[in-house]
Amino acid sequence: MVTLSREDIVRLCERVEGAQTRAYAIPKLTDEYPNMTMADGYAIQTELRRRFIEQGHALIGWKAGLTSRAKMKQMGVDVPSIGFLTDRMARPENSSISVSDLVHPRVECEVAFVTKADLSGPDCTAEQVLAATDYVLPAIEIIDSRFSGFKFDLESVVADNGSSARFVSGGRARYPDELDLRTLGVVLEKNGEIVEMGAAAEVLGHPAEAVAMLVNILHDLGETLPAGSFVMSGGITAAVAVQPGDHINARFQELGSISIRFEQ
């Protein structure tokens, strides 16, 4: 249930938007509003999406977050969440990504889905997601919590659009029925060293389950997932902090690899 007034939602949205666009850390929102609900968090996120679209950003899809045990453990929360993705967050494969407009970036490896049919809740299933999937491809998400110390609770991180900051996809697109998306392995290398590895089943048993969950949360927000959406299903392993000079290579079984660098 939304408990905040419209004025408070707009004020908190402006606070998050300022921190996102000017890259500074703010205290988590629940420090000021300890009784804030998840619905309040989504109301702030929806206002943020409305403002970005009004400013000319294009909505290109959505992301599921906190869908793997590794991520939930790392962040100390136990419920998945969603956030929106715009064209301004996309970066090309093999590019150098500046950290000067980020607070404390981290990278994570995800399976991304591109849809060819509309999907809607409230009872969307993984089977329906797979039937509506045009292809899957590998992705690196660069998350960047705007909250001090990268510490937050669910209500605050939802308001901060699930820490969304940048994302890179590429590698090799594949039809999902040609793969076993549960046993698909990923290895994350930083500066040539393996720092994380896992299998996509870490994400709710099957990454399509995370997309179904996302569609069902969208239903609660009064939204559907249109054909042609780009959807990231959530980090398979824990996220890894990056600094200028770091080189990241994510190797996905069957889906090729994605490399990026970070610069000041």
> What residues line the site for ligand OOG (CB under 6 A)?
63, 65-67, 71, 75, 108, 110, 141, 143, 145, 157, 162-163, 234-235, 239
Q: How many residues form the binding site for Mg ion (CB under 5 A)?
A: 3
Interactions with Mg ion, residue window 144-183 (CB under 5 A): none
Alpha-carbon distances of 256 from 23, 66, 169, 186, 197, rounded to whole Å: 32, 24, 11, 10, 15
Q: Which residue sits closest to Mg ion, CB atoms considered?
A: 141
Interactions with Mg ion, residue window 97-116 (CB under 5 A): 108
- Least Å distance, CB 6 to ligand OOG, is 26
Q: Which is nearer to ligand OOG, 24 or 175 (CB)?
A: 24
- Least Å distance, CB 25 to ligand OOG, is 13
Our finding on whether 41 is near Mg ion (CB under 5 A) is no
Q: Which is nearer to ligand OOG, 170 or 234 (CB)?
A: 234
Choose among 26, 66, 20, 23: nearest CA to 45.
20
* Distance from C-alpha of 213 to C-alpha of 24, rounded to nearest angstrom: 31
Of these partners, ligand OOG, Mg ion, none, which one is at the site of residue 162 (CB under 5 to 8 Å by kind)?
ligand OOG
Our finding on whether 80 is near Mg ion (CB under 5 A) is no
In this structure, the strands spanning 133-143 and 240-241 are unpaired
Our finding on whether 235 is near Mg ion (CB under 5 A) is yes
In this structure, the strands spanning 96-98 and 256-263 are parallel
User: Across-strand partners of 13?
Assistant: none
- Least Å distance, CB 4 to Mg ion, is 26
Q: Which is nearer to ligand OOG, 176 or 234 (CB)?
A: 234
Report the b/e string of 159-190 with b at 16+ CB within 10 A: bbbbbbbbbbbbbeebebeebebeebebbbbb
Contacts of 54 (CB under 8 A, 6+ apart): none
Contact 112, 252 (CB under 8 A): no
Q: Which is nearer to Mg ion, 13 or 75 (CB)?
A: 75
- Least Å distance, CB 78 to ligand OOG, is 12
- Least Å distance, CB 7 to ligand OOG, is 27
Contact 15, 147 (CB under 8 A): no
